[in-house]
Structure 1
């Protein structure tokens, strides 16, 4: 039998007023900043106790705030699952219409991005489908859609571009509805509605996360992508910081904040990817940066956050007014403790950068052994390079039997003139010359970060449904004795020889002296190498074959990386979704404290994300048996 609260909820639709007669529950309020940052207009539009008092009793049951009571039980259907489309407690069309009225028309019923390829959808259009198919790997089109994510494998591959217009396309693991957020009040309504109705809730900014954290079958999505406000604060003051800062809406992306920083003469710490949402899940998961070897992680820069909590209340979180939550949100993972609407971060002075790209390969004059000797000479210098404040993004690829290519794409030498960069890399270049490996570096100095970043990093290629990735943060200790380094080098080489690509970053991400500690993975503080690899399969592979491939990749390919770095970890946002003991790998010694805080701030289990804090309490009953989000979310 359903819990009494749900029996009552089932009667709500019978007594709700007609949608057209609903009064708005969002009102403009006077807001005084509690963090020394300006108040965005979107933050003055809120749901308050007074505005909710205008609703009738039945409406209020759907949209009321939660009590701050840790004894609240998770609201699920009688089978222990979140309410799902087709269930008798799924909100009626009238209820969704009422919700949309309260949101001022911001509710979007999900239409899969590729629906134009399928005759079963009204959006079918062969020309549109052709255009979409050619652009499918472009991250911009997925970021600009309220439900689409950049790794459809973890949505459930329910509606991919196709030339077979009679094939099946379903909403699958995408959220059923999404709120196109333009105000704090809309987020509050969505949080309250999902919690009170027992719905799954997901939060999406761009959809970059490698494991599909921002999607979920039957979910209500909160789409923060259009919260684009940016305010520069020349003189931010708090008990622990006095200096320039920037406040960013949750939808601000890397290219937007970097362009603004260049315009105003400062440097912001953000990701290398052009469309990554800097103020979204990126910073909440830690956020490594081309500037990390000097300034640490993006999470380390945060001075305050504006957040809608699981109880629906809007708060500003700082080190002074809520030290526990301030610690947890910065690095403890997106979609875990609340919906972040804006972030205020310290900024750095204008900085010059030398950017260099080059490559070398096996060939007539370069044997495989010689190639690997050249790679080893580079890897041996990781401590010196990172300590010099540089960040390198490189690939090592197998191109055939005993055939390999190394791509430096790019070496990003912050605070280095061209002469200083050449002096730094000269010992390695000399080794390559002695080995008979010829390179032709294309090295250019830029007097600002933005131009260097634009020149150095390509637009991300995304949306593969025949590939999964995994990563590892290799610690400095692996470079401190010959035995450890030999084992590390051998594990990385074996991965490439076996046909798996190596995409890696030579960097460090130490917490800068004087910066407050946070929940970012402690493994970041000791790392010299963030390495990513992948496995793939044909597009004709069945689900059993895919699952076998994934498990082999997790246990055997990545198992070798874990074996040489057993006390390290991995970056949660670019990781293997099947990572064993994800609590240790992604959160390290922080996990126990994070889990305790999760129970305090989200006692109803409203915020779920795969591999997020507390996710072990839940299971997705996937339609295809793969670790994706296309299925009911249920208590484990």
Structure 2
């Protein structure tokens, strides 16, 4: 039964120890380990490998082609990333390749479904000095969920959630209707489950994002974040396994500094989170406004962008949130108003659109939903296809700049409006409760003064040369530098989960200040002194080589 699983076992390798490295475990050791974790050691491969490695398997290839942009299909495969380029493979569903290889996808993965699977994996990693990567769903834009030659700890099937009707904090305070959610549970599952109780939680806009993984640990913005804050602000407790394999409860009374770090300091860095306890809220009704606009000419387009930016504070003051997408020929606006008054909503929005009756509104709609989940499954969930090759960068835009320098902000938006393979995306998800200064967590403080989170995104097709991809990456970096001119300059901040993987000053950009970063690094060095948890541009990764396999002494 082990022949196929271990047929390419020597392709993995161990991390450096000074100038030497320990050996990759033998097949017999892997077999013993597999038995100890209930046979949960599996092979993983790039998502397109079925169309290249075994051309006779036509059915599997057709499934891959049909499901290629389906995020649920991708999250159900150990080796698949949501952004296909992070598999870094020569495999493709669009053409057959005789050189299809493993790329950056680990050959072996532990499909951990129990805490002891995680603990025994960490014991093996520590014993043999293995490179470890942690993945739940692969929603990652910095290549943190995969690495060549690593062992993959896959948490996707840790599916358990519980409603805690009366949850007692360690301080003695009682919280109504908290939830405990396992590492593998995804936001779409939580929204649907909580809807049965007329509740909701502050979570992601993509239904397949993991609740407790890098999304939440990096801060986590939400369609509802202006209403109730970031996802990290909702955490009451973590159940974690440390790098040494010990299980700990982490909250405001126990392991307090780790509690601070895990709420905003980034995933895959401090511990393996088994579950998290979160606040919930009575589900708000939602008023939704969606507009797809085709400007008649460049002059009118520039005028509309300027008026839209000037109008954003009015929307913010009225409680609206949402998203907008700027391309060279289209401007798409999707807004939501929790617990809003319909007459007030129409009146507010009309102030903007009434000046542009000459535009061709391809779709104009105001829809009222009785719950957030109804809004989510109807409007938001269908808008999240994945499977593209893409790279992006971002900046958090301070609210003071949007209010006081709207013309400058609009000029930059018009300059960066995307084309056929590029996009400028506006996340109108900051301000409101995100601006609360009472949150004692490690979220990038730039979130607390921002109104917008702006992303510049570039995509490319399979077969694009490495040289062309490098040019695309430089285009993203240049575009982000332009965004920086309206984001506070050199001290501007970034949402780490949607940052440029080539961000030069990432310690300050991702974590807000060098002081904040150094505090996180001090905690990191204490809880993970051997650097078991290391990932691209995560706390402590600056102590490692570019490939993150050798510590820099």
Query: Structures share a fold, TM > 0.5?
Result: yes
Q: How many residues align?
A: 530
> Paired residue for 1:259?
192
| Aligned-residue offset at 1:387 | 3.6
Distance in 2, Cα, partners of 1:549 & 1:438? 32
User: Structure 1 residues 160, 498: closer, same or farther in 2, change over 3 A?
Assistant: closer
Query: What does residue range 599-614 of structure 1 map to in structure 2 within 5 Å?
Result: 599-614=525-540
1:558 aligns with 2:491: no
Alpha carbons 2:131, 2:149 under 8 Å: kept: yes
Deviations 1:327-354 (A, max 9, x none): 0001111100011010000111121001
| Paired residues for 1:449-528 under 5 Å | 449-457=372-380, 458-465=382-389, 467-481=390-404, 484-496=405-417, 500-509=422-431, 510-511=433-434, 516-528=439-451
Is 1:569 aligned to 2:460, yes or no?
no
Name the CA shift for 1:241/1:376 in 2 (closer, same or farther; >3 Å): farther
Q: Which runs of 5+ in 1 are unaligned?
A: 1-18, 20-74, 399-403, 622-631
CA distance in 2, matches of 1:459, 1:537: 19
Could you give the per-residue CA deviations for residues 268-313 of structure 1, whole angstroms, max 9, x where no partner exists?
1101111111222211111000110011100000000010111110
Q: 1:200: which partner in 2? A: 131
Distance 1:104 1:271, change over 3 A: same
Q: How does 1:338-417 map to 2 (within 5 A)?
A: 338-362=271-295, 366-398=296-328, 404-408=329-333, 410-417=334-341
Could you say what the CA RMSD is over the residues aligned between the two structures, in angstroms?
2.2
Q: Are 2:512 and 1:581 aligned? A: no
CA distance in 1, matches of 2:418, 2:274: 45
Equivalence map 1:14-93=2 (5 Å): 76-78=15-17, 89-93=23-27
Stretch moving more, 413-422 or 235-244 = 235-244
Q: Secondary structure in 1 aligned to 2:343?
A: helix
**DSSP 3-state at the match of 2:485:** helix
Q: For the Cα contact (< 8 Å) 1:472–1:532, is it kept in 2?
A: yes
Task: Report Cα offsets for 1:465-494 as digits up to 9, x if no partner.
Answer: 3x311111111121242xx33222211211
What is the aligned partner in structure 1 of residue 107 from structure 2?
176
Structure 2 residue 345 is the aligned partner of structure 1 residue 429: no
1:158 to 1:614, Cα distance in 2 relative to 1, 3 A = farther
Residue 162 of structure 1: how far off its partner (Å): 4.2
Which sections of structure 2, spanning at least 5 residues, go unmatched?
3-13
- Displacement of 1:137 after TM fit? 1.6
Tell me the equivalent position of 1:25. none
User: Of residues 321, 328, 333 in structure 1, which corresponds to 2:261?
Assistant: 328
User: Which of 132, 142, 151 does residue 211 from structure 1 map onto?
Assistant: 142
- Tell me, in whole angstroms, the C-alpha distance in 1 between the residues paired with 2:439 and 2:141: 28
Q: CA deviation at 1:116?
A: 1.8
CA deviation vs aligned residue, 1:554-612 (integer Å, no higher than 9, x gap): 1x221111122213211111121011211111111221111111111110011011111
* 2:131 paired with 1:131: no
Q: Give the deviation of 1:449 after TM superposition.
A: 0.6
CA distance 1:549–1:459, change in 2 (3 Å): closer
Kindly state the Cα deviation for residue 426 of structure 1 after the two structures are TM-superposed.
2.7
CA apart distance, 1:613? 0.7
Q: Distance in 2 between matches of 1:514 and 1:490?
A: 31
Q: Secondary structure at the match of 1:278?
A: coil
Choose from 24, 35, 54 the match for 1:101: 35
* TM-score w.r.t. length of structure 1: 0.79
CA distance in 2, matches of 1:146, 1:264: 32
Residue 599 of structure 1 aligns to a residue in which SS? helix
d(CA) in 1 for partners of 2:172, 2:406 = 39
Provide the secondary structure at the position in 1 that maps to 2:549. strand
**Counterpart for residue 598 of structure 1:** 524
TM-score by length of 2: 0.91
Q: How far apart, in 2, do the equivalents of 1:247 and 1:449 lie?
A: 20
The answer for the alignment partner of 2:239 in structure 1 is 306
191-200 vs 539-548, greater mean Cα deviation:
539-548
2:436–2:448 CA contact under 8 A, matched in 1: no
1:146-165 matches, within 5 Å, as 146-164=78-96
- Between the aligned partners of 1:537 and 1:136, the Cα distance in structure 2 is 15
Partner secondary structure for residue 182 of structure 1: coil
Deviation digits for residues 85-116 of structure 1 (CA, Å, limit 9, x no counterpart)? xxx70100001101101101111122333232
